Amino acid sequence: MVYLNLLFLLLITLLSISTSLVIVFGNYQISYILYSGIVIMTSLLLTLIRWHSTKEWELVDKNLHPMFIKGVMTNLVTIPLVFLLSIVISFVNLDMAQYFWLIIAPIPIVIRRKYKH
């Protein structure tokens, strides 16, 4: 588990570097793909850490509602999916791919309503 956390922190550090690449080289598709790839890996690793902590109720409170855990996991999985779709959209239009990231904002509201316990 410690190795997963250290890898997660490494990816968090790489996020700042890839953000700088998007700012400096915003006209190039490779910077968007690199940034999106790092966000996808970071989000998937956070999902894996969360899954590991909630499996068999070892590292979380036993009073947590299962629907709450399912809602959090669903929310964590949607972020890499949005960025994966933005990579596909970047082959068509870079600006549209960047604006597609805004879809992340309303997703937690919808998920919270669906998995209300």
Model confidence pLDDT, tens digit, residues 85-104: 999 999 999 999 999 999 99
Compute CA 32 distance to the chain's CA centroid, rounded to the nearest angstrom: 15
CA dihedral 23, 24, 27, 30 (to 10 degrees): -90
Conformation bin of residue 18: beta by default, left when phi > 0, alpha when psi is -120 to 50: alpha
pLDDT at residue 6 greater than cutoff 70:
yes
pLDDT at position 56 is: 74
Place of tokens 């309503």: 113
Confidence grade of residue 82 (pLDDT, cut at 50, 70, 90) = very high
Mean pLDDT across the stretch 79-83? 95
Name the pTM for this structure.
Answer: 0.87
Q: What is the pLDDT of residues 15-69, one digit of tens each?
A: 999 999 999 998 899 999 999 999 999 999 999 998 888 887 676 777 778 788 8
| Alpha helices in the chain, H assignment, sequence order | 2-24, 29-54, 66-90, 94-100, 107-114
User: Where are the domains positioned within the chain?
Assistant: 2-114
